[in-house]
Structure 1
Amino acid sequence: MVRTPDTADVARAGRGARDVAHSTPVRIAARIGIAANGVLHLMIGWLAVQVALGSGGQADQNGALGAIAAEPLGRAFLWVLVIGFAAVVLWRSVSAVWGFGYLGDRKKQLAKRVVSAGLAVVYLVLAVAAATTAIRGRASSGSGGEATAGLLGLPGGQIITALVGVGVVIGGGVMIWNGWTKRFMEDQDLAGADTRIRRLNARTGQVGFIAKGIAVGVLGMLLGVAALTFDPQRANGLDSALKALREQPYGVFLLIAVGLGIACYGIFCFLDARYHRVT
């Protein structure tokens, strides 16, 4: 006879998950994962500048992972990234349920937990993409256009795609606001950092969040255009958003600025890996 888990079993399972997520090995691996995200953003920033200057290439996470895989020992390094990303997924998932006790405001706690849940999904996607690239030795050929086509193919797909686009634009705006107001520093413990590190952390975070917010906002607008025109290739992921910037007046300079800003976010991730509250 199979016993149905009771409340005590669920509580013990919850405590076990928290203990694992807060263990020293997972906390160290989570910091590695945050730093690994920095590596990806440095690569994406570099690829964006190359696109601005007229070179080919895919300026998104798949392009960055493919560039890493092409290097000597690149595939081995990708497995290190997979471990780090997986640790971040575990940590963020637990934080989404029990985290942010250091914030006294209940509403702030709830907002942070929702964001943490979203980041768990983002890092899960990164872990799967890095593992796939490490196994194949090349980046996945999947595109954002395929995902958009899937949305458009659903009943009411144009409305759903348009709503997703609005949500992405709002998300980009929130990133810009968080960068401008330096809200990202709420989740860091800089007590032991000297003035120069604090200043570098604040400036790279500000520039990085704003640059990423611009790119994400453009992607949201492209999703809206894809919904209106019923053309999924109008919204082919971050790569299409960055290339759309290049087509604007003074787009080369704008894309170079955004690419450098995304690289700044990569530098910020290295600092965040050291000072983020991984508790």
Structure 2
Amino acid sequence: MSRVGLVARGLLYLLIGWLALQVAFGDGGGKEADRKGALQAVAEKPGGPAVLVLMAVGFAALALWQVAEALYGRPIPDGHKATKRLGSAARAVVYTVGFAATLGFLFGHTGSSSDQQSKTYTARAMGEPGGRWLVLAIGIGFVVWGVVVVVHAVRREFLKELTGMGRAARHVVQPLGVAGNLARGLVGSGVGVFLAYAAISFEPDKAQGLDGTLREFASTPAGVWGLVAVAAGVLLFGLYSFCEARWRKVEAVS
């Protein structure tokens, strides 16, 4: 089930990357390059509802897998268990949100875009006592997470989670993992920067979701090619997720 979940994650990233490429070349058709846009793209195809069901099952499996690792630990040195369990708990939350969003989409609750959700939740949080500092802390958390992902990509730390690869497979998987995780880390840090800026300036509308953050890469000195590069990286992370589904260590916990 966990491997099915990794395939579902890969499909989601492939679709988001593809939508972002369409946006970059002016052929987005008004769709958002985020989870909602990806689910819409699936639903519009023949057999789409069945694929959405499999994606929902996959994200549920990923969430259960990470909950199990958070509760029962992993076969790792004692000094790293607390950090690893916190990481597993955080991933469990992310995958649970993915499961809920996919399930809601299946039942007709399409919701708003990631940008609108980000602005709405930021405004609500900042309207509460101490909410501004909470938003700032979340933004900093995204930035730190993104930097860690980038560092791990450069150092090829992700290879430690894979097993049973031959030399030929490794030559394919390694560049996919490096480029894909670099893009993933950059986008995550970008989301965090916008959240932090919204908190510091006390302007909730400055917050951006995945779609808005991706589009902002077109405003960098690299222009539209900045967005193309990041979108391609997101696509590659989708392909890397399929490789994870094949070679990721999915061990029983005790």
TM-score (norm 1): 0.84
Question: 1:266 is aligned with what amino acid?
Answer: G
The Cα offsets for residues 162-201 of structure 1, whole Å up to 9 and x where unpaired, read as 1211111111101101111111122221x2x221211211
- Aligned partner of 1:63 in structure 2 is 37
Measured after TM superposition, the shift of residue 109 of structure 1 is 2.9
Partner in structure 2 of residue 170 of structure 1: 144
Q: 2:235 aligns with which of 245, 263, 266?
A: 263
Root-mean-square deviation (CA), in Å? 1.5
Assess if the C-alpha contact under 8 Å between 1:47 and 1:59 holds in 2.
yes
- One-letter identity of the residue aligned with 2:50: A
Partner of 1:184: 158
Could you tell me which of 200, 218, 225 is aligned with 2:172?
A: 200
Instruction: Give, in whole Å, the separation in 2 of the partners of 1:234 and 1:196.
Output: 45
Q: Distance in 2 between matches of 1:152 and 1:50?
A: 34
User: How far off is 1:114 after superposition?
Assistant: 1.5
Which letter maps to 2:40? G
Kindly state the Cα deviation for residue 203 of structure 1 after the two structures are TM-superposed. 1.1
Q: Which amino acid aligns with 1:51?
A: V
Residue 246 in structure 1 maps to residue 218 in structure 2: yes
Gaps in structure 1 of 5+ consecutive residues:
1-28
Alignment partner of 2:129: what SS?
coil
Consecutive aligned runs of 4 or more in structure 1 exceeding 4 Å deviation: none
Structure 1 contact 235–241 (Cα < 8 Å) conserved: no
Name the counterpart of 2:83: 111
Q: Which has the higher contact order (CA 8 A, sep 6+)?
A: 2
Mind listing any 5+ residue stretches in structure 2 that lack a counterpart?
A: none
Q: Which moved more, 1:45-54 or 1:168-177?
A: 45-54
Question: Partners in 2 of 1:108 and 1:254 — Cα distance?
Answer: 36
Query: In the alignment, which residue of structure 2 is the partner of 1:140?
Result: 111
TM-score under structure 2 length normalisation? 0.92
Aligned partner letter, 1:139 = T
Deviation at 1:110, TM superposition (A): 2.6
Report the Cα offset of residue 150 of structure 1: 2.0
Paired letter, 2:159: M
2:130 to 156, 159, 165: 156
Number of aligned positions between the proteins: 246
